């Protein structure tokens, strides 16, 4: 008798989680259509990021100093440097990295 009750409760719980999943997906579709589903916005603008990378390349500031100056983490500085390298490589080979920028800019 206890096993039967446990199985019935498990089925109800599984059905309820399925309904929650469906409602969540439906809500996300509605938000996407309205333009509200964008994810986390970048901390720095493209211009700020370019300025930050130029400060690093000038050699006057360390990564930690630039990160502190722009109120971001060091990992953000490293990602910005890597993004600029990737864009420069793509420009040198004649390929576009619009897909990367579109994913970043939302």
DSSP, residue by residue, 25-84: HHHHHHHHHHT----PPPSS-HHHHHHHHHHHHHTSS-HHHHHHHTT--HHHHHHHHHHH
For residue 35, what are its two tokens? 């333009």
CB atoms within 10 A of CB 86: 12
pLDDT at 39: 79
Alpha-carbon span 106 to 101, nearest angstrom: 8
pLDDT per residue of the chain (106 residues) written in tens, 0 to 9 = 789 999 999 999 999 999 999 999 999 999 888 888 777 888 899 999 999 999 999 999 999 999 999 999 999 999 999 999 998 898 888 765 555 554 555 4
Q: What is the pLDDT of residue 71?
A: 93
The whole-number pLDDT of residue 106 equals 46
Domain ranges of the chain: 1-37, 46-105
Q: What is the pTM of this model?
A: 0.55
């Amino acid at each position: 008798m206890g096993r039967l009750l446990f199985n019935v409760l498990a089925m109800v719980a599984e059905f309820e989680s399925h309904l929650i999943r469906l409602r969540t997906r439906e809500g996300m579709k509605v938000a996407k259509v309205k333009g509200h589903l964008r994810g986390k916005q970048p901390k720095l603008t493209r211009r700020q990021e370019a300025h930050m990378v130029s400060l690093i390349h000038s050699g006057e500031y360390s990564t930690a100093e630039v990160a502190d100056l722009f109120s971001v983490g060091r990992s953000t500085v490293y990602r910005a440097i890597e993004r600029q390298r990737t864009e420069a490589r793509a420009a040198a080979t004649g390929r576009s990295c619009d897909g990367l920028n579109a994913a970043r800019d939302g």
